[in-house]
Amino acid sequence: MAEAGAGAPRVSLLACGDYRPDTVLPAMRRLLAPLGGMEAFIPRGGRVVLKPNLVMGRPPERAVNTHPEIVRAAARLALEAGAGRVAIGDSPGVGSASSAARAAGYAAAAEEMGLEIIEFTPVGIATPELPFPRLEAARELLEADAVVNLPKLKTHSQMLLTLAVKNLFGGVPGARKLQWHYRAGRDRPLFARVVNAAAARIRPALSILDAVIGMDGAGPTAGRARPAGFLAAGTDPWAVDAAVMDVLGLEREKLFTLAAAIGHGPREWLDLRLAGPNPADLRPPDWDIPELRTLQMHGGFVERRLPFLARRLRSGIAPAPLPNALCNGCGHCRDICPAKAIRLAGGRPAVVDLDCIRCYCCHELCPLGGMDIRPAGLLARLLGLG
């Protein structure tokens, strides 16, 4: 393998086995040392926004959100490095950032260090590289002096995994994110380009991935909390994701955002330099990655050119959402479904199969874990794929 150039993005990896404060803070210092320490990224007196994965208000043991000790340690290091103000922000799928942050265990650190919890406000950004001329992103991220991206290692039923790049799509505020799921979510390679475009505009100074305990199986909200035992950090979020794919033993191009970046986005990560242990030595055993069996796996051609056929094939092949016994009929999935494919009948949600675009927002954003994903469609089973 050719040696990476001196300007290639650097990713630091470190084993970290638990979330005790006296484990996490020293581990974060060691993790960032090969990158020049937190002070290399924080302008003195500047406004810093920490962007955790705060998808919904869930306690830390569920591994739905970035762990509060990772957020606390990142804030501590940013303040030590001379930040003038440190805020925590995200646009959760359910509720406000402040209510989700309280439930996720961020309140104590916020109070202790005077951190503000901010709600995002959308501002338009031009995206000439996309078929859509504009995208919205959070003003608070675009105007920050430094964004520190704090993703969580989780499986993702639509995009395979949510890592550093996908976490930045949380910087597309509120309901607009769902509109993008609808417009681009029918075509995953295109959706990956939208995610990449948002990440490229937000351009975090640093990404620190929490993989001490991650989520496998039916992520990003209803999977299993599983120890993974490591941290990863780097300036280039695509490089961080590529290194994490190496740790998990997966082909980098299987991650839609990395595959899309090869054709349409940043490519510096192809030449990344690693610091720390060999990725294979950090590999968590038996990590359960969701099967993605969809038309979009084949480039989205049928979706784009033959939409009527695509609806029927998608219905037969792609795993479909299905309410389970935890569902209490609250109707939130009906309200947020970007394709308006859910009706409430007899106090239970019913999915109109042909209208469902398989974005899995209902699965991701159900507050009770009440929406499962059926393993495979009828056609997939007949073809021996399920």
- What are residue 234's phi and psi, to 5 degrees? -175, 165
Residue range at the interface with ligand SF4 (CB under 6 A); choices 61-69, 113-121, 235-243, 354-362: 354-362
Other CB atoms within 10 A of residue 15 CB: 15
Quick one: tokens of 67? 């762990």
Quick one: tokens of 177? 């994110």
Give the nearest distance from C-beta 376 to ligand SF4 in angstroms: 15
User: Of the two residues 10 and 358, which places its CB atom closer to ligand SF4 in the complex?
Assistant: 358
Give the nearest distance from C-beta 184 to ligand SF4 in angstroms: 13
Site for ligand SF4 in 43-82 (CB under 6 A): none
* Residue of the chain from 13, 282, 362, 376 that contacts ligand SF4 (CB under 6 A): 362
DSSP string computed for 128-173: TTSSSSEEEEEHHHHT-SEEEEE-EEEEETTTEEE-HHHHGGGGS-
Give the nearest distance from C-beta 307 to ligand SF4 in angstroms: 15
Q: How far apart are CA 94 and CA 96, in angstroms?
A: 7
Q: How far apart are CA 117 and CA 249, in angstroms?
A: 36
Give the nearest distance from C-beta 321 to ligand SF4 in angstroms: 4
User: Of the two residues 75 and 194, which places its CB atom closer to ligand SF4 in the complex?
Assistant: 194
Give the nearest distance from C-beta 205 to ligand SF4 in angstroms: 33
* Residue of the chain from 368, 378, 383, 385 that contacts ligand SF4 (CB under 6 A): 368
* Residue of the chain from 63, 73, 97, 371 that contacts ligand SF4 (CB under 6 A): 371
**CA nearest 249: which of 279, 212, 269?**
279
Quick one: tokens of 26? 């020293």
Give the nearest distance from C-beta 327 to ligand SF4 in angstroms: 3
Find the distance separating the first CA and the last CA of the chain, reported in whole Å: 37
Which helix (H) or strand (E) segment is 288 a member of?
Answer: none
- How many residues bind ligand SF4 (CB under 6 A)? The answer is 26
Instruction: Give residues with Cβ within 8 angstroms of 155, minimum separation 6.
Output: 161, 162, 215, 216, 217, 218, 219, 220, 223, 288, 289, 290
Give the nearest distance from C-beta 326 to ligand SF4 in angstroms: 7
User: Of the two residues 24 and 341, which places its CB atom closer to ligand SF4 in the complex?
Assistant: 341
DSSP string computed for 70-103: HHHHHHHHHHHTT-SEEEEE---SSS-HHHHHHH
Site for ligand SF4 contains 361 (CB under 6 A): yes
Site for ligand SF4 in 281-340 (CB under 6 A): 321, 323, 327-333, 337, 339
* Residue of the chain from 359, 372, 376, 380 that contacts ligand SF4 (CB under 6 A): 359
Give the nearest distance from C-beta 191 to ligand SF4 in angstroms: 12
Quick one: tokens of 6? 């001196």
* Residue of the chain from 274, 349, 377, 380 that contacts ligand SF4 (CB under 6 A): 349
Site for ligand SF4 in 144-203 (CB under 6 A): none
Residue range at the interface with ligand SF4 (CB under 6 A); choices 48-56, 71-79, 258-266, 355-363: 355-363
User: Of the two residues 37 and 95, which places its CB atom closer to ligand SF4 in the complex?
Assistant: 95
* Residue of the chain from 31, 146, 357, 376 that contacts ligand SF4 (CB under 6 A): 357
* Residue of the chain from 370, 372, 377, 380 that contacts ligand SF4 (CB under 6 A): 370
Give the nearest distance from C-beta 357 to ligand SF4 in angstroms: 4
Instruction: Give residues with Cβ within 8 angstroms of 312, minimum separation 6.
Output: 354
* Residue of the chain from 28, 342, 376, 380 that contacts ligand SF4 (CB under 6 A): 342
Question: Helix, strand or coil for residue 314?
Answer: helix
Give the nearest distance from C-beta 351 to ligand SF4 in angstroms: 5
User: Of the two residues 127 and 162, which places its CB atom closer to ligand SF4 in the complex?
Assistant: 162
Q: How far apart are CA 274 and CA 256, in angstroms?
A: 22
Q: How far apart are CA 379 and CA 295, in angstroms?
A: 12
3-state helix, strand, coil in the chain (%, to 5): 40, 20, 40
| Binding residues vs ligand SF4 (CB under 6 A) | 321, 323, 327-333, 337, 339, 341-342, 349, 351, 356-362, 366, 368, 370-371
